[in-house]
Amino acid sequence: MARVIIAGGGLSGLSLAWFLKELRPGWEILVLEADARAGGKAWTIKEDGFVCEKGVNGVLDNKPSTLALAARLGLEPLRSNDVARRRFVIKNGQLIQLPVSPVQFLTSKILSLPGRLRVLAEALVSKGDISKDESLADFARRRLGREAFEYLIDPMATGIYAGDPERLSLRSCFPRIHELERDYGSLIRAMIKLQREAKKKGEKGPGAGPGGVLTSFTTGMNELVDALVRALGPAVRLNSSVASISKQNTGWRVYLQDGEELESSHVVLACPVKAVSEALKETAPDIVKLAVQINYPPVSIVCMGIKQGTTENPMNGFGFLAPGGEKRSILGSLWDSSIFPNRAPEGYQLTRTLVGGARAPDLAGLPESSLLDLVVKEFSELVGLKSTPEFVKIFRWEEAIPQYEKGHHALASEIDSTLRSYPGLYIRCNWLGGISLNDCVANSERLARQLAS
């Protein structure tokens, strides 16, 4: 009988354990979580009637992995409000709504007329060198023009990765876009052809944006974590930090920080780079040498409860992002109480503002009072905040989002190849294979099937 030890009780580790128990109920599965709680960056804090997400605030329903798992756990999804389709970008100190259709794009103020014409000319741009690992910034300027990069693509990199588009890899961060240019030579030509093919099948074709509706749960993302922990029961051990692992003749030995030693047939490291590097520094230094090249910039999240009617802008929408060229101190803000119901008490609005990331990592480490002053100043200028917030909660992530920078695809391939020298050892976390929660769950299910077979 196999014994699988999973180091890390985030959503990657928890979902992997759940899939393995479903596929191989006779196997012994053990999840070791270093902290006093499981869930990783899916973490909901409820205080004074506010429901604050410390990390991820939902998943898109255009990929089935997470919501399919939730359904099998008996959870009811909560779709975001229709008003959340309205997203904004800062331009010249003003919030400009992003267009959601070709007609809106043609009349939008987000780009100048020359900027819009340059985007339409994308169909005439020749295909680039597909073998080259191009930065997101270089790709966007080449295919869409400078202005579209600054006000459409740069904010997207900020919103998803809190990253620097000059360093982020298009192929690794947005593989579908890379494939569209490779297969069709043009993004516009690809969209037209795919729309036609979908129409013939009676299906809805792809849109220009990421697609899907943001979806969570009534009491927040912790519902999914709690359901997995309940389902796994004693298979999840908290306050159990892995110090190191070593290869044995018949499998692996896992050494915990408290001195306990455990035997296993398989070990899956479902934890961030730093924890993986510590566990493998003696056993697999070649993997550590590769893994430490992945950077995690810090991010701080400032949650504010604002009394309704105290902002000139009603904040009816998803929120806004700040392009790098706007020289703002914040990365953007999510208007959570507009996105989902029941996120704030009656008469209040809840916002979450991000500070730091690859653009300004030092700002993430400011004292709480300075962070709050910074966010209040930006809100006063951008949405006309007239009074101080009545509720404040600040969360800090010293290692927030792994950066898929240029060279990441080759690096990930080399890590995968090197792992083959260590039978029974696997890595399953969001610094490989996609950062989204949907990617994490899908990759965990794929690994579970691989192990079970």
DSSP 80-128: PPGGGG-EEEEETTEEEEPP-SHHHHHH-SSS-HHHHHHHHGGGGSPP-
Please give the pLDDT value at position 206: 62
Separation between Cα atoms, residue 66 and residue 324, nearest integer Å: 32
Q: What's at 87, amino acid-wise?
A: R
pLDDT given at position 412:
97
Residues forming beta bridges with residue 350, ordered by sequence position: 305
Rg value, the chain, Cα? 23
The single-letter code of the amino acid at 423 is P
Residue 157, phi then psi, degrees to nearest 5: -65, -35
How confident is the model at residue 102, as a pLDDT? 82
Q: Which residue has 């073998």 as its token pair?
A: 131
- DSSP state, residue 341: T
Query: For residue 201, what pLDDT is reported?
Result: 78
Q: Which domains does the chain have, with CATH numbers?
A: 3-42+228-295+404-452 (3.50.50.60), 111-200 (1.10.3110.10), 297-397 (3.90.660.20)
> Can you tell me the distance from the alpha carbon of 427 to that of 337, in angstroms, rounded to the nearest whole number?
36
CB atoms inside a 10 Å sphere around CB 342 = 12
**H/E run at residue 140:** helix 136-144
Say what angle helices 222-232 and 65-72 make with each other, to 10 degrees. 50
* Predicted pLDDT of residue 101: 83
Measured CA to CA, the distance from residue 204 to residue 195 in angstroms comes to 7
Return the H-helix or E-strand segment holding 393: strand 391-397
Burial call 260-278: b when 16+ CB within 10 Å, e when fewer = eebebbbbbbbbbbebbbb
Which residues lie below 8 Å from residue 169, measured CB to CB, with a gap of 6+?
133, 134, 135, 136, 404, 405, 406, 407, 408, 409
Asked whether the beta carbons of 337 and 349 are under 8 A apart, the reply is yes
Q: What is the pLDDT along the chain (453 residues), one digit of tens a residue?
A: 689 999 999 999 999 999 999 999 999 999 999 999 999 999 999 999 999 999 999 999 989 999 999 999 999 999 999 999 999 999 999 999 999 888 888 889 999 999 999 999 999 999 989 889 999 999 999 999 999 999 999 999 999 999 999 999 999 999 999 999 999 999 999 988 988 887 877 776 665 555 789 999 999 999 999 999 999 999 999 999 999 999 998 899 999 999 999 999 999 999 999 999 999 999 999 999 999 999 999 999 999 999 999 999 999 999 999 999 999 999 999 999 999 999 999 999 999 999 999 999 999 999 999 999 999 999 999 999 999 999 999 999 999 999 999 999 999 999 999 999 999 999 999 999 999 999 999 999 999 999 999
Residue type, 70: A
What pLDDT is attached to residue 410? 97
Cβ neighbours, 10 Å, residue 236: 22
So what's the pLDDT on residue 209? 54
Residue type, 80: S
The pLDDT value given to residue 250: 85
What is the DSSP-derived secondary structure letter of residue 153?
Answer: I
CA dihedral 46, 50, 54, 60 (to 10 degrees): 110
The Cα 262–Cα 71 span in angstroms is 34
